[in-house]
Copies of this chain bind each other. A is one copy, B any other.
Amino acid sequence: MKAPPFEYLSDLPTPVQPVAREHHATVPGEVVSYSDDRRERGARLMRELTGDAAETVVRGLRDIAPDLADWIVEFAYGDVMARPGLDRRSRQLATIAALTALGNAQPQLKVHIQGALNAGCKPQEIVEVILQMAVFAGFPAAINALNVAREVLPR
């Protein structure tokens, strides 16, 4: 018998390539349950950072590209964003900087501004990062990102 390894993931898309997710030793009667660390780590971080936001994205991908949903959880959050070498706040501010500069990823910018707040960033810090992009990516990039931020930042 195997308990669900992380209940907060219970309604995420079923992994498409589950082969490496669990390994059962071949000895009868003994079950070696192996929970995939990347997936668990990623799902937990994603939930903590973005609450329902990223999970809604991930669920929305289930019909058309379930593997991309897995990659977001396992690779983007589990392998990359969960790494210990940089604190969560800095990671979120760096993400906001990049998405502001790229200028073509408003939905993701919105999710990660919420993520920054959840990671403990102050609204003013988020605004500062966006303002700073006026220097590095031009005024339109900063203005358009602020209009996204306005929808998320608390009044």
In contact, B105 and A102 (Cβ under 8 angstroms): no
In contact, B97 and A95 (Cβ under 8 angstroms): yes
Taking chain A's interface residues, is the majority helix, strand, or loop, or is none over half, making it mixed? Answer: helix
Within the complex, the shortest CB–CB distance from A117 to chain B, in Å, comes to 14
Given contacts A100-B98, A141-B138, contact A153 B64 (CB under 8 A): yes
In contact, B136 and A86 (Cβ under 8 angstroms): no
In contact, B140 and A102 (Cβ under 8 angstroms): yes
In contact, B32 and A132 (Cβ under 8 angstroms): no
Show the binding face of A for B, using Cβ within 8 Å.
Answer: 2, 5-6, 8-9, 11-17, 19-40, 43-44, 47, 55, 57-73, 75-76, 79-81, 83, 85-86, 89-91, 93-105, 107-108, 124-125, 127-144, 146-147, 149-150, 153
